[in-house]
Structure 1
Amino acid sequence: MKMYQVDAFTKELFKGNPAAVLVLDEWLDEQLMQNIAAENNLAETAFVKRIDTENYEIRWFTPKVEVDFCGHATLASAFVLFQFFTELKEFIFHVKNLGQFIIRQDTDGKITMNFPIRPVSTLENYPALLNEVIDRPIQDVYINEQAYILVLESEQDVIEAIPNLENIRKIQLDSLQNEALDTKICLDVTITSLSQKYDYVSRYFAPLIGIDEDPVTGSMHTGLAPFWAEKLAKRQLVGYQASERGGELYSEILENQRIEISGYAKLFMQAEIEV
């Protein structure tokens, strides 16, 4: 069975966020897909099922669980489809509970993905433990359906912050039992600030689902980019995820609670797996 590994949100190998991609005619057994993701031990393994030449379904697995949305593995999957499976420059991913993602590729290779916005709101009564998830002071706390969003004073604070992964795990576990939250989901932690070179920078931590620090988290920018867009009074932004590998994301806020997030990708590996 053919598998590809792609570095997403970068033009350079060994940067951005690596994801594995398998393109299927029919879904594999769910446990087998989870086992493949665990064996890969990447932040995400994406499985894409063909519907026809213009439509595909997509699912994403971390080494521990299936997740409902992953931006960088969507970009990696789109890159593989454009490179090896279709001559079209636009197609649609169909996603359970999230609807349709319209995907297109520009002539320079940049891939643009149309996603739903995940709105951010202020969180005044937040868990006290959030003050102890990094070694830097927090200015403000926000939340969306994916994560707690901690705004720091400076770009340097975001870059240099040391996470307390055990406390982040506790925060994630507590979010599953927090009666004040509308839904019982595992909330991750992201830190962010304004930037001099970019519009904003961020980092992302999700140790409970097997990702201590995610190199680049496309899904989180469906909340971060609109958040900073409102503060900066801009519709087009460039964000940088300041992990060790790093990655650049280009965003444009659209109407009807939609956002386009764009980026580049680089093929690292093609392989045959024996399953």
Structure 2
Amino acid sequence: MKVFTSNAFASVPEGGNPAGICLETEGLTEGEMQAIAAEVGYSETAFIFPSDSADFKVRFFTPASEVDLCGHATIATFSLMHELGMIGKGTYRQETAAGILAIEIDEEGTVMMEQLLPRFGGFAEKDLIARSLGISSGSIVENLPVQAVSTGLMDLIVPVLDLSAMESIKPDFSLISEISRDLNVTGYHVFTTETLYGSTAHCRNFAPLFDINEEAATGTATGATVSYMHSHGMLDGSVLTNLKFEQGYEMNRPSEIKAVLGTEGKRITDVRVGGTARRSKTLHL
């Protein structure tokens, strides 16, 4: 079994979030896909199938279980297919467990993926969230909530004051898993508007419930975060086309994620997230 690997959202060669991509899927069972994902060991591995309702059907597996959607693995997958000449510039549709979503690829191979329109969930108690992150409750922004948001996967969006608070995080992965299970979220997406390189926000993502202690770049959580920021008055403009999110720096895997947000007044009409990927090694399992 040949499995390609690619670093999605990499801003430098050693950066980005690695994903596995399996193109040879005919006859694979769910159990075999799960075993392959566990052996690859990356946070997600994508499996590509024909689709009756879209251009491709894509299934995503963490080392522990299948998930409905994965942003960075989507970027890695379509970037690889573009590099291999399987697809060219244009718009495609991928069938996922989260729905059928549009993918746009430009001449340079930048991939932008449609996200579901946001669903806003419940709120979490700040003291408990702070304790699970090993920071003081005062490090969480006072006038903003800790809230669950989904544009494909439900994440808990946690706003912190600054980069100092971000760097001081010492996560209790067991407690984060317990809280994530109780709140029915994939994990935490922590962000601050103080950034290293003039980005929209600086982010860290923790999803130990799915065996992902920390992730270097998280596409679906970026869609949730930009939706959260708009809903709480943190962004200006009716069509926001040049949003950038930096992630992975605390892991020495610098990543840049692009986002586009379309709105009509306070209503969000379009969420897209994307970037580029750098092909890495090929695994033979």
TM-score range, shorter chain: 0.7 to 0.9
Shift in CA distance, 186/262, structure 1 to aligned 2, threshold 3 Å: closer
Is it true that 1:155 corresponds to 2:167 in the alignment? Answer: no
Contact 1:65 1:209 in 2 (8 A): yes
Alignment gaps of 5+ in structure 1: 176-184
Is it true that 1:76 corresponds to 2:76 in the alignment? Answer: yes
CA offsets, 1:238-263, max 9 Å, x none? 11124411311111113564312120
Alignment gaps of 5+ in structure 2: none
Is the partner of 1:109 in helix, strand or coil? coil
Is the partner of 1:21 in helix, strand or coil? strand
Give the Cα separation in 2 of the matches to 1:39 and 1:272.
11
The amino acid that maps onto 1:263 is G
Is the partner of 1:143 in helix, strand or coil? strand
Percent of pairs with identical residues = 25
Of 232, 235, 251, 1:232 maps to 235
Please report the TM-score for the alignment, with normalisation by the length of structure 1: 0.86
The amino acid that maps onto 1:238 is K
CA offsets, 1:154-211, max 9 Å, x none? 1332234221212212212322xxxxxxxxx344112111134211111111112110
Paired residues, number? 261
Is the partner of 2:215 in helix, strand or coil? coil
Of 149, 157, 160, 1:144 maps to 149
Question: Where does residue 172 of structure 1 map in the other structure?
Answer: 180
Is the partner of 1:231 in helix, strand or coil? coil
Question: Where does residue 178 of structure 1 map in the other structure?
Answer: none
Give the Cα separation in 1 of the matches to 2:201 and 2:38.
32
Contact 2:207 2:213 in 1 (8 A): yes
The amino acid that maps onto 1:152 is V
Q: CA deviation at 1:7?
A: 0.2
Question: Where does residue 270 of structure 1 map in the other structure?
Answer: 282
Q: CA deviation at 1:214?
A: 1.2
Is it true that 1:16 corresponds to 2:24 in the alignment? Answer: no
The amino acid that maps onto 1:92 is R
Contact 1:48 1:58 in 2 (8 A): yes
Contact 2:134 2:171 in 1 (8 A): yes
Question: Where does residue 131 of structure 1 map in the other structure?
Answer: 130
Give the Cα separation in 2 of the matches to 1:191 and 1:102.
27
The amino acid that maps onto 1:13 is P
Give the Cα separation in 2 of the matches to 1:232 and 1:200.
11
Give the Cα separation in 2 of the matches to 1:68 and 1:223.
15
Q: CA deviation at 1:27?
A: 5.3
Shift in CA distance, 44/246, structure 1 to aligned 2, threshold 3 Å: same
